[in-house]
Each structure stands twice: as C-alpha cells, then as structure tokens.
Structure 1
Amino acid sequence: MFDIYKAEERYTADHGWLKSNFSFSFAEYYDPSNMQFGPMRVLNDDIVQPLRGFGAHPHREMEIVSIVLKGQLKHEDSTGKSAVTTFGGIQRMSAGTGVVHSEVNPSGDEEVNFLQLWFMPEEYGLTPSYERTDFDPAKMKNALLPVVSKHHGEDVAYIHQDLTIYLSELEPEKDLSFHQETGRRIFFFVLEGEVILNQDHHLNRRDSARITETESLQIKAVKNAKFMLIDLP
C-alpha cells in the first residue's frame, strides 16, 4: 500500500527567521490522523536564517536525528557536547531521561536547511547521549547508503530503534531495488529530482510516500534524484 503525500500538502510555518514544513503533526499543527508512522513521529524540513536558531530547550524520551542539506548547524547540549554539522554529517541525540540543547546557524551570511527527524525509542529511561558521524556523499551515487541505524556499524550513527535511514543519489534512468521483511514499513522522501516507485507512483521534490504491505520496492530516477529511505518496524 502506498500513501503519497505531496510537498505542497505539508503544513508550513513561517516565523521569519525560521521556515518549516511539517510532514507530521507538530507545534501549532495538529491532525490526529497524522501523528506518526510506526515509531517515526516528526519530519520537519527547516530553513534557518544566519545567526539564528533554536535556543536552549528540553527534550525527553525521543531519538532525534538532524541531516544537514545545505549550510551549517551548530549543536550544544547539557551533556557538554558541541559540534558543527554540514552536508555529509549526521547528528543523533538520544534525549532519554532528559536533555537541554540548542541548534543554531553559526553562519553570518548563509541559511541552513536541515531535516529534523524524531523517533520513539525502543526503550525508555536511557542516559542522554549525542553522536556526530560523517559519510562520504560519493557513496550515495546509485546506491542506498546507510547513515543512521541500529544494525550497521562503522561510520553509521547508532539509534535506539529498529530502523535504518538510507540516503541515495540516483542518476537519470538508473534504478535501485529495496527489499525488506514482511510486516515492516518504508518511509520515502524525495530531496531533489523526480522518481517513480514500482513503475506506478511518481514523486517530485519533497514529496513523500508511506509504504506498507510491500516487501519489494523499485526506485527509478526520471531525472537526477536525491532521496531518503527509512526502513521502519
């Protein structure tokens, strides 16, 4: 089953310094029919202006992943961790029993565009932790590159949930196949370009698909495409 969500159907919040597009209920946007997809609770497509950002604020019992698409994102938290992430970097924070953090754009002249993803953890009461990892964007070319996972090891950010986030860049007329176990879910999000899923479902830039009861997914690029695929329980 394929549920397609077009980019323009997302809720948009524009605060001047911050423009966000919400794929799930978040903040002032509440839709009881769009609260989560499996353990996936939030996907915000955020653009933050130079020298602005999210000041120190608390979280509990959530796995939070940030994927920078353009610009720089500076993280600081109450565990003493601090890092700047650009494209090619992933940050994962386990809020666990409670953490306070800030996420700001340290650049004086360039906006930052990043994806903010929240997932419910497999278990509660974890000690808060933060991890920043790097991946080689060249390895996205015509391949599914794991960047966050409970199951993949070196150079992949660890997450306390039975999921894997893949990134890919697919050349025109190239295709990829993804197979998973019965009963699992796929969340698919087009970062750039245009793709066709299983020869039938056309998705453009920032469109997404929530896929169930489908063990085999064929992905074909109509034109050069970048996308995120999340394998979920």
Structure 2
Amino acid sequence: MIRIIRSNERYLAEHGWLTSRFSFSFAEYYDPANLSFGPMRVQNDDIIQPGTGFGMHPHKEMEIVTYVISGQLQHEDSTGNREVLRAGELQRMSAGTGIFHSEVNPSAEEPVHLLQMWFLPETRGLTPSYEQKGFDREARIDKLLPVVSNRQYDGNLHIHQDMTIYLSTLQAGSEINYTTQTDRRTHLFVIDGSLTLNGDKMAQGDAARIQQVADLHLATGTGAEFMLIDLP
C-alpha cells in the first residue's frame, strides 16, 4: 500500500517567528489516527525567522534527527555541545535518559529551513549523545546515500533504531529503483522538485507512507531532492 500525503494536507502552525508543517500529531495538533508510522513519531517541516528559535527545553527517550535545507541552525545542549548546522548538514541527538537543548537561527537576515524527525529508540535508558556531519552533495546524485543508520556505512551518523535514512538528488530525466522487504516500512519525502513514485506524481512537500510494497521506482523529468527512510 502506498499512501501519499500532499503538502497542503499537513497541519500548518503559524507563529510569526516560526512556520511549521506537522506530518504527525504534535503540539496543539492531535489526531489519534495520525500518531506515528512505525517508530517514526515526528516529522516537522520548519522555517525559523532570523534571530529567533527554540530556547532551552527538555527531551527524553527519543532519537532526534535534523536536516538543514537552507540557512543555519545553532544547537546548544546540556552535555556541552555547541555547534552550527549549515545547509546540507545533519545532526543526530539521542535524548536517552534526558537532555536539554536549544535551537536558534543565528543569522540576522536569512531564515533557516529544516526538517526535524523524532524516532522511538530500540532501547530505553541510553546515555544522551550528539553528532553532526555534512555529506558531499555529489555523492547522492542519482543514487541513494545512507546518511543516518544503525548499520555502518561510509561515515554515516549512528541511530539507535533499526532504520536507515537516505538522501538523494535526481537530475532531470533520471530514475532510480529501491527494493526492500515487504515487512518493512518506507517513508518518502520530497524536499525539492517533483518526481513520480511507481507512477504517482509527487511534488515538493509531499510524502508517501509505504507498506507491503517491496519494489519502488522513482523518476523525475525536471529534477528532485528527496529523503527516503527505511523503517521496521
């Protein structure tokens, strides 16, 4: 089964300094039929205005992955990490037994656009940890590049869940195939451009939740950037 969620079907939260679209129940948005997809609990598509952001706040027992699409995001946490994520970079924070962190747009002029995802960990009670990395954009042209996984690839970030996050940039006229097991879930999100998924058209901001389908064919006429997540 392939279920496509259009960009404008997501919940829109507009706070002036923050524009966010929630793919799952979050904050003031609650839908008991839309709580999660396997261990994937949150996917927020955020735009944070210059000089604003989230002050120190707590998290516990969650694997949090952030991908900066454009702009910069300054991260600071209670374990001593203080970093700036730039466009194309990812961070993985394991909240474990408990962590406080802040996320602020350090720019005085440019908004930051990011995707943030939360996943339930396989094991509770982990020691909080953090890592971030940028990946060569050339390495994901017309291929799936594993960037976050519980498996060991070439320099990927590690996550405490049986899953892998891939990034890909398809050039105009390109196509790619992905094969998984029918008992796995696949989540697809179009970051930019447009593509077809097994013949179904998808545009920027659209997502697909895929179950019991092993073979996926993705193609684009004009180019597309997307994130594919393999989940249990």
- TM-score computed with the length of structure 1 as normaliser: 0.98
Cα distance in 2, alignment partners of residues 41 and 155 from structure 1: 25
Which residue matches 1:153?
153
In the TM superposition, residue 154 of structure 1 has moved relative to its aligned partner by 3.6
Contact 2:190 2:226 (8 Å CA) reproduced: yes
Contiguous gaps of at least 5 residues in structure 1:
none
Which residue matches 2:82?
82
Which residue matches 1:15?
15
Matches within 5 A, 1:120-159: 120-159=120-159
Which residue matches 1:215?
214
Cα distance in 1, alignment partners of residues 184 and 51 from structure 2: 41
In the TM superposition, residue 139 of structure 1 has moved relative to its aligned partner by 1.1
Cα distance in 1, alignment partners of residues 149 and 107 from structure 2: 30
CA displacement 1:118-148 (0-9 Å, x = unmatched): 0000010000001111211111211111111
Cα distance in 2, alignment partners of residues 171 and 72 from structure 1: 25
Q: Give the partner amino acid of 2:69.
A: L
Q: State the identity %.
A: 55
SS at match of 1:223: coil
Cα distance in 1, alignment partners of residues 124 and 78 from structure 2: 19
In the TM superposition, residue 152 of structure 1 has moved relative to its aligned partner by 2.8
Contiguous gaps of at least 5 residues in structure 2:
none
In the TM superposition, residue 87 of structure 1 has moved relative to its aligned partner by 1.7
SS at match of 1:214: coil
In the TM superposition, residue 155 of structure 1 has moved relative to its aligned partner by 2.1
Matches within 5 A, 1:185-200: 185-198=185-198, 200=199
Cα distance in 2, alignment partners of residues 65 and 123 from structure 1: 17
Cα distance in 2, alignment partners of residues 117 and 152 from structure 1: 20
Contact 1:134 1:155 (8 Å CA) reproduced: no
Cα distance in 2, alignment partners of residues 215 and 156 from structure 1: 24
Contact 1:53 1:105 (8 Å CA) reproduced: yes
Which residue matches 1:228?
227
Mean alpha-carbon deviation: is it higher for 218-227 or for 61-70? 218-227
Contact 1:97 1:128 (8 Å CA) reproduced: yes
SS at match of 1:24: coil
Confirm whether residue 56 of structure 1 aligns to residue 52 of structure 2.
no
Contact 1:150 1:164 (8 Å CA) reproduced: yes
Cα distance in 2, alignment partners of residues 56 and 154 from structure 1: 33
Which residue matches 2:202?
203
Cα distance in 1, alignment partners of residues 103 and 172 from structure 2: 35
Confirm whether residue 39 of structure 1 aligns to residue 39 of structure 2.
yes
Cα distance in 2, alignment partners of residues 170 and 133 from structure 1: 22
In the TM superposition, residue 108 of structure 1 has moved relative to its aligned partner by 0.8
Contact 2:182 2:211 (8 Å CA) reproduced: no
Moved over 3 A (4+): none
- TM-score computed with the length of structure 2 as normaliser: 0.98
Contact 1:192 1:205 (8 Å CA) reproduced: yes
Which residue matches 1:112?
112
SS at match of 2:102: strand
Cα distance in 1, alignment partners of residues 228 and 152 from structure 2: 15
Q: Give the partner amino acid of 1:230.
A: I
Paired residues, number: 232
